[in-house]
């Protein structure tokens, strides 16, 4: 199945530097979870604040379906 993954702020430079608007299109095995996206792209867990799947907050164990849109945001602490 295919899903789209969008990265924000400095994650964009690191994980999708050549993609317009930071969006990557990924091909995954059926029954994949967001965890598999992290594995495939070698994303450092410790840099991630939260994840939206089709605009709803989810954990990495959430299962994916064809055409899903995943948004990945950086970790942010107080200034």
Partner 1 sequence: MPYGYNGKILRVDLSSQAIFTEEPDESFYRTYLGGKGFGSYFLLRELKHGIDPLSSENKLIFADSVITGAPAPGINRYSVIGKSPLSSGLGESDAGGWWGPQLKFAGFDAIIIEGRSENPVYIFIHDEQVQFKDARRVWGLNTGDTQKIIRGELGSDRIQIATIGPAGENQVRYACITNGLIHVNGRSGLGAVMGSKNLKAIAVRGSRKINVKKPETVTQIAKWFAKNFKMNPIANRLHEHGTHATIDRLNSMGLLPTGNYGAGEFDLSSKINSKALREAYSVQSAGCFACSMRCKKIIVGNDYGAPEYETVAAFGSNLKVSNMDVIVKANQLCNQYGLDTISTGVSIAFAMECVERGILSEKDLEGLNLKFGNDDSILEIIERIALRKGIGTILAEGVRRASEIIGKNSAEFAMHVKGQETPLHDPRGKFGLALGFAISETGADHNTYGPHDNSYELLDSPCLKASHPLGILEPMDALDSSAKKVRFYLYEENLSNLWQTLGVCNFVPAPRGALPLQKFVELVEAITGYETSLWELLKAGERTTVLSRSFNAMEGFGRKEDSLPNRFFEPLEAGLLKGKKIEKADLEEALTTYYRMRGYDDNGKPTKAKLQELDIEWVAERIAL
From candidates 2, 4, 8, 54, binder to partner 1 by CB under 8 A: 8
Regarding 10 and contact with partner 1 (CB under 8 A), the answer is yes
In the complex with partner 1, the residue whose CB is nearer, 32 or 71, is 71
Regarding 69 and contact with partner 1 (CB under 8 A), the answer is no
Decide: residue 25, CB within 10 A, 0-12 exposed, 13-18 middle, 19+ buried: exposed
- From residue 14 to residue 53, what is the string marking binding to partner 1 with x (rule CB under 8 A)? ------------------------------xxxxxxxx--
Chain residues binding partner 1 by CB under 8 A are 8-10, 44-51, 57, 59-61, 73-79
């Amino acid at each position: 199945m295919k899903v789209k993954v969008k990265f924000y702020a400095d994650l964009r430079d690191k994980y999708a530097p050549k993609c317009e608007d930071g969006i990557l299109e990924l091909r995954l095995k059926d029954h994949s979870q967001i965890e598999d996206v992290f594995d495939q792209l070698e994303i450092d867990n410790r840099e991630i604040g939260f994840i939206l799947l089709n605009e709803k907050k989810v954990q990495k164990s959430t299962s994916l379906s064809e055409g899903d849109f995943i948004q990945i945001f950086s970790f942010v602490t107080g200034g």
